Structure 1
């Protein structure tokens, strides 16, 4: 490759800047997926848990597994839930079971969130979640209500992050080579 070409002098820094911008945007989107604004954690128990959702959308009921649990078991996949609004209107809950295309999240403390199922919230408000068979979830585990992270949104984000990182690093390296004339 001819690094003394004037086009390379323009494309390399442009790739560096555009890649850096895209990388910052991708990392921001990934942060919002890993650390959602709405995340409600509570213990799995037989009594109903009341919570407030500030915005409509699709939400997942996750089991939160503490860090350093090597043998996690699979009984929690058979947990059943009933979700009702403040006006005692039931919401449809769809269990994932051991679905292949679900997104697990792990936070910085090492807690792993695995989705058990989802429900659609048509409007913001107060809701009640009841675990119908809490004995299937271990005592040290927690439950969490958080927005669903769709696989079809996560995969392009990962690919865009990789492309942006390559653009940034490649643009930096080629810009330095052109700047110091080591062709």
Structure 2
């Protein structure tokens, strides 16, 4: 079966439209990763914080670096947390990440704040949870703590690759369409 170049050129508008649709979907999903629906921040690591989690699932405790901050040292990775379900009073297991853990998703928001995950916990039911930093001396002044939903690297990497591919489809389809309409191809 031979592939005619004119078929590719007339398929370019379809490629552009499909790419634009996929790009919009990928950007929407990336937006939910960068700006999660559930994200609660607090600045004082010395006092316990109560967070309301609207649904069951895995959550991550992050340290949030202010913009234009050079982070020397990794003492924040040694921070320990105790999590308690307010309704039942039961302790929730917390799993601390290693500083060498490559399989975590780090985020930056549009304000220049960078979130670096310190550990995770799983809540079995929605409700209020009290988070206490047992070693607040490891959290530098000016840094914040944050609770946000867990983002799997196995889902995040294909999302990034899909965004790149759909952007290439959109731009390539647009270029071929414009070249075909202007008679240059």
Measured against the shorter chain, the TM-score band is over 0.9
The TM-score normalised by the length of structure 1 is 0.94
Tell me whether 1:45 sits opposite 2:50 in the alignment.
Answer: no
Equivalent of 1:148, from 150, 162, 173?
A: 150
- Provide the aligned C-alpha RMSD in A: 1.4
CA distance in 2, matches of 1:43, 1:173: 48
Do 1:44 and 1:137's aligned partners in 2 also have CA atoms closer than 8 Å? no
Report 1:102-141 matches (<5 A): 102-141=104-143
Tell me whether 1:75 sits opposite 2:75 in the alignment.
Answer: yes
* Cα deviation, residue 122, structure 1: 1.1
Moved over 3 A (4+): none
Higher mean C-alpha displacement, 7-16 vs 118-127: 7-16
Report 1:52-91 matches (<5 A): 52-86=52-86, 87-91=88-92
Unaligned runs of 5+ in 1: none
Equivalent residue, structure 1, for 2:183: 181
Local SS of the residue matching 2:105: coil
CA distance in 1, matches of 2:124, 2:163: 32
* Cα deviation, residue 8, structure 1: 2.8
Higher mean C-alpha displacement, 98-107 vs 11-20: 98-107
The TM-score normalised by the length of structure 2 is 0.93
